Chains A and B, each alone.
Chain A
Amino acid sequence: MNASQPLAFVNARLVDPESGYDGRGGVIVSEGVITDVAKGREFGKLSKAVRVIDCGGALLAPGLIDLRVRTGEPGAETKETLASAAKAAAAGGVTSFVVQPDTAPAIDDPSVVDFILRRARDIDSARILVAGAATRGLKGEQMAEIGLMREAGCVYVTDAGKPIVDSKVMQRVLTYAKGFDALLAHRPMDPWLGKGGAAIGGEFAGRMGLPSISPMAERIMLERDVALLEATGGKLLVDQISSAQALETLERAKKKGLRIHASVSINHLSFNELDIGDYRTFAKLNPPLRGEDDRQALIEALASGLIDVVVSSHSPAPAEDKRLPFDEAAPGAVGLETLLPALLSLYHEERIALVDLIRAVTLAPAELLGLRGGRIAPGAPADLVLCDIDAPIIIDAARLLSKSKNSPFDGRRLQGQVLMTVVDGRVVHRAEG
């Protein structure tokens, strides 16, 4: 399709998180940007050059921005390449995603950032962004070249799933990153309380004989991080908060006015530890699944705005890494294609308003990274998703476009069929049929 051909999306249920609008409307895009927005009205007579797409009342929202995607490239391309991840993203309505730095080699150097971004330029089905490592080799010892990586185009820094254990290093990273206004995403997990564990300690793990992680491991390290944040004045994203206890810490920190934000993975909003069932390794995640009380608390926190962002936490792992005894299996699940329909469950269950759910995967991550996307306004990038939010679907892992098929949603009935995904004004995905 010609990227320069203007498109007019009409007869949509338009959701714009920036203005809080949820109602009938349409959008005109041209030259890769949104040029006109109709809210509660129809466009006037359109020129013949404009291709009109009748949305039939389906949801039209900004394309999703996923802050946390692991790929296998570079280093483990059999798990996932940037191109295969981008295809999966397009199929899931994700128009931008941030690659995590725990690749091989790690993205801890401006040249690797540059390498990824150069590869990304040849991939047009999604915008690929990069997170740089906070410390060299993600070892938590020496600070990585945060400034140079920012210059090379990295959007935030993180040691991905690995906590920075040394408090002095953490303090320095927060302090130094502030100079470049770089966001630090950090997974709070006390390494000693988490050592050797495959599941969160509790009745379920005890009964199943699974080596366990103390339920307090997350909160304890978050308390430390908050204290350091207070001292340094940095900007912190709590990476995939998962416990009710840690939410209390987060709330206190936010009330103090600290620059602290939090993400939650869609998996932790959708599953609890009982989904591990008979040692189902697809439900082995990092952080591990918790009890139903924690899941409910996370949903409440998302509804209240305490949690800012929802991520897919896309972590491809091939069968050989998953078909192992539970404590030996790799953690993680693919999620780019299931993020939106899984998130919509919270709307269908009347837990969270649609506009608030959409905000958590569009505007909120865009604002955290200082991107212009994530909103439906003239001048914003023409990154859009069209979705029939009522259409029932059954997730079939074998049909996912990711190279790895490790999805805990396999077989789950959800509602929400992505009909079309648009990146930069180009249609990059269209549902079959």
Chain B
Amino acid sequence: MTASAHDPSQAAIETIRARVFAFPKRHFLSAGDLNALQAVELLDLADAFVALNRQTSKTLDILKGRTLMNLFFENSTRTQSSFELAGKRLGADVVNMNPKTSSVAKGETLIDTAVTLNAMRPDLLVIRHASSGAASLLSQKVSGHVVNAGDGQHEHPTQAVLDALSIRRAFGRVSGLTVAICGDVLHSRVARSNVALLHTLGASVRLVGPPTLMPSQAERWGVTVHHDMKSGLAGADVVMMLRLQLERMQGAFVPSTREYFRFYGLDREKLSRAAPGAKVMHPGPMNRGVEIDSDVADDPAISLIQDQVEMGVAARMAVLTSLAARLEAAQ
């Protein structure tokens, strides 16, 4: 019997170390970068981090000596905090850059910023940006590993990992489940990443929303498209709501929040169409009474929303660890 068997915190650490795998690519820009085996390995690793995060001592030295830069061109308190916490718990030196108050506001371009930051030799760069493709552009110009923390309307791959982790922990599997992703799919990077990863993991995916908020030819993504919540939710195991970006209201994508809630907001009545035991998810922040009723969002028996926040830190720790493992493998 090893010493770790007596020490639960040591056991969690050993599990983590046993599950570490080198990421398939230098950067994590898209949920589609993972194949099924790698996705499962990443979820297994994230699972081990959940156990660690629930202990009193949550820190490790996996990223000791490494520098993690959070580069958030768009505000996002929760994602930034989640990455910051993930980096710190792994022992990295974490720097938060706020480009809005830096040289970027004075006309410096993303590439200029990247080149400047690169000279500081960060090992891991986490970027959020309002333009699709910004993370990809940055990744071509820096020597460190880039993690896409949301690029425009394109992808948010770590959100997909944490969502998949939340689903797997709730159901014990992802494969074979039916997931309905509902709301403003058109502008949602969360939806694009989730469609990719859930497919990889063997789930069947539906997209539900008004035609004005559905990307053109979305059915070619390998999903079924529904414009009616009743058919869209029928028999679904997971109902993943998306945030309606209220600024879109001015673009007349939907007539009013009142009408939107009537037809596309999730309440008990609409949820009753889903499979028995269905779970509800939301990437946050929520517009209560617009896309989701508080009654549903706050019911711990059906809502995974708080789990998603918890899983966020673990999922990001897993991603950072795997990228660092690739870094070490390369050195």
B109's nearest neighbour on chain A, judged by CB, is A324
List which B89-132 residues lie within 8 A (CB) of chain A: 109-111, 129, 131-132
Residues of A319-354 whose CB lies within 8 A of B: 320, 323-328
On whether the beta carbons of A320 and B216 are closer than 8 Å, the reply is no
> In the complex, A323 Cα to B186 Cα: how many Å?
26
- Measured between beta carbons, the chain A residues less than 8 angstroms from B152 are 209-211, 325, 327
Instruction: Report yes or no: A207 in contact with B215, Cβ–Cβ below 8 A.
Output: yes
Q: Residue-by-residue, is A191-207 near B (CB-CB < 8 Å gives 1, otherwise 0)?
A: 00000000001110111
Please determine whether B133 and A278 come into contact, CB atoms closer than 8 angstroms. Answer: yes
Determine whether A208 belongs to the interface, using a CB cutoff of 8 Å to chain B: yes
Inter-chain contact B215/A279, CB cutoff 8 Å: no
B151 and A209 form a contact (CB under 8 A): yes
List residues of B (121-147) whose CB comes within 8 Å of A's CBs: 129, 131-134, 136-137
Q: A203-B220, A210-B133 are in contact. List 7 more A-B contacts (CB 8 A).
A: A202-B216, A209-B154, A209-B155, A279-B137, A323-B137, A325-B133, A327-B132
When distances are taken between beta carbons in the complex, the residues of chain A under 8 Å from B151 are 209, 325
Known contacts A209-B152, A210-B153, A211-B153; A325 and B215 CB within 8 A of each other: no
Return A283 CB to nearest CB of chain B, in Å. 12
- Shortest A37–chain B CB gap in Å is 53
Q: Are B132 and A210 in contact (CB under 8 A)?
A: yes
CB distance from A353 to the nearest CB of B (A): 36
Verify if B253 is at the interface (C-beta below 8 Å from A). no
A201 touches B132 (CB 8 A): no
A300 to B225, CA, bound (A): 35
Tell me the bound Cα distance from A34 to B110 in angstroms: 54
For the complex of A and B, 7 pairs with smallest distance between CB atoms:
A279-B133, A206-B215, A325-B131, A209-B154, A209-B153, A203-B217, A209-B132
Q: Which of B110, B111, B133, B220 contacts A208 (CB 8 A)?
A: B133
23 chain-A/chain-B pairs, Cβ below 8 angstroms: A202-B216, A202-B217, A203-B217, A205-B216, A206-B217, A206-B218, A208-B132, A208-B133, A208-B154, A209-B151, A209-B152, A209-B153, A210-B132, A211-B152, A279-B133, A323-B109, A323-B111, A324-B137, A325-B133, A325-B152, A326-B132, A327-B131, A328-B131
Distance of B312 from chain A, by nearest CB (Å): 21
CB distance from A155 to the nearest CB of B (A): 37
Given contacts A325-B110, A327-B152, contact A212 B216 (CB under 8 A): yes
Chain B min CB distance to A281 (Å): 8
Q: Is there an interface contact between B132 and A324, defined as CB atoms closer than 8 Å?
A: no
A→B interface (CB under 8 Å): 201-203, 205-212, 278-279, 320, 323-328
Closest to B139 in A: A278
Measured CA separation A325–B99 after assembly (Å): 15
Nearest CB of A to B95, in Å: 22
Check if B216 sits within 8 Å of A325, measured CB to CB: no
- Minimal beta-carbon separation of A257 from chain B (angstroms): 36
Cα–Cα distance between A208 and B134 once the two chains are bound (Å): 12
**Which of B109, B132, B136, B153 has the largest count of A CB atoms less than 10 A from its CB?**
B132
Smallest CB gap from B134: residue in A: A325
C-alpha spacing A202/B216, complex, angstroms: 5
The residue that A325 contacts in the complex, of B137, B155, B189, B192, with Cβ under 8 A, is B137
* Chain A residues in 8 Å Cβ range of B218: 206
Most B-side CB within 10 Å, residue of A208, A325, A327, A328: A325
Q: List the A side residues contacting B220 at CB < 8 Å.
A: 203
B91 to chain A, nearest CB (A): 32
| A275 CB to nearest chain B CB (Å) | 14
Smallest CB separation, B194 vs chain A (Å): 13
